[in-house]
Structure 1
């Protein structure tokens, strides 16, 4: 059985930069996955993610990346093209670190067999404390659909989460999207 990781990266404090984290949170809230699939809020952990990447056969990265497209446009990139895509224009330190993580895994010959970037073109990266903008938020469902479609290549079919199998948050409840936007940090 393959180890599969769905990794949301980004900084939720900088508006659209938080897309990857918000997408993986939503995916986790809606679906239950087999034991071999990990959903991870990678935030801005950078090189701390290397052991996770090295232990993964299939890696799906959800992130905001400046592709030079229309705000909110989804772009899908696979395998060897992923690191080049992330370095096309550095928007934040976490992207540099994610490139470093993938580069180190490649040097160590521990790169996942399959990598898929589900990226969204951001609109606003300058609004400190702001949430994801409307065109970027509108792509969360499409990004989730792309992740589920990609997983089907590997025989993974998640099931819808019910109230019986409610899950703990991937991160602190204080920064979950609804609480963050409401200013409820308790």
Structure 2
């Protein structure tokens, strides 16, 4: 039965935010991707790769009764630490120490939804303390990637509380892409993304010494 036909069924938005191109910044998006790959969800649940879209996410947040957000958040904890934040604490924790513009943008989304009287009645943030953010084109660090299963377990518990019981996919089952239109392109899936990254000789990510040497020589001449 669809959520439209049964008003008692809450509309749930599971949102992963962050930037895949900056190492652990992609944690939230990778969690949503893994949730889609491993679990079949009832129709009242929408999975979304929110990326860095900021205020463009407002209409989707306003439509939700329950909102669960995955993100990498700098709490000042040891790298890989997972936190579960609930209710009115969510905006405060997302603004604890801004790592990128997407966090400022999402705080504005929450504020705007509140101003319009359309803030989801339940808010949950599942966040990880990143290890590395200055690696352009890099993937999650092993310490952070290893926290995805625990993050998903927390999310599955919340979905169950909200009446949206997930069903584990059968081994080898390929998720239907049409069932998750708000997720990213398959070319950005983690396995594909990691396999196609050039090696360090082809593409330096943190201060290419070839360029720096040329610049230093130019300044000395």
> Does the pair score TM above 0.5?
yes
- What secondary structure does 1:42 align onto? strand
Describe how 1:123-142 pairs up with structure 2 within 5 A.
123-142=131-150
Q: Quick one: distance in 2 between partners of 1:155 and 1:36? A: 10
Query: In the alignment, which residue of structure 1 is the partner of 2:31?
Result: 23
Q: Which residue of 41, 49, 67 corresponds with 1:59?
A: 67
- The number of residues matched between the two structures is 185
Per-residue Cα deviation, 1:17-71 (whole angstroms, up to 9, x for no partner): 0000001100000000110001111111111100000000000000000000010
Query: In the alignment, which residue of structure 1 is the partner of 2:217?
Result: none
- Asked if the contact 2:36–2:175 (Cα under 8 Å) also holds between the matched residues in 1, the reply is no
- What secondary structure does 2:84 align onto? strand
Query: In the alignment, which residue of structure 2 is the partner of 1:90?
Result: 98
- Asked if the contact 1:42–1:49 (Cα under 8 Å) also holds between the matched residues in 2, the reply is yes
Query: In the alignment, which residue of structure 2 is the partner of 1:167?
Result: 176
Higher relative contact order (CA 8 A, sep 6+): 1
What's the offset of the Cα at 1:107?
Answer: 0.8
- What secondary structure does 2:97 align onto? coil
Is it true that 1:39 corresponds to 2:31 in the alignment? no
- What secondary structure does 2:139 align onto? coil
- Asked if the contact 2:90–2:123 (Cα under 8 Å) also holds between the matched residues in 1, the reply is yes
Q: CA RMSD in A?
A: 1.5
What's the offset of the Cα at 1:86?
Answer: 0.7
Q: Which residue of 4, 11, 19 corresponds with 1:3?
A: 11
Work out which of the two has the higher radius of gyration on C-alpha atoms and give 1 or 2: 2
- Asked if the contact 1:22–1:177 (Cα under 8 Å) also holds between the matched residues in 2, the reply is yes
Per-residue Cα deviation, 1:79-118 (whole angstroms, up to 9, x for no partner): 1000011111110010010001001001111100000000
Per-residue Cα deviation, 1:132-171 (whole angstroms, up to 9, x for no partner): 0011100000000000011121122100123566322721
Q: Quick one: distance in 2 between partners of 1:108 and 1:44? A: 22
Q: Quick one: distance in 1 between partners of 2:175 and 2:66? A: 25
- Asked if the contact 1:29–1:167 (Cα under 8 Å) also holds between the matched residues in 2, the reply is no
Q: Which ranges in structure 2 are unaligned for 5 or more consecutive residues?
A: 1-8, 198-221
Q: Which residue of 48, 60, 63 corresponds with 2:56?
A: 48
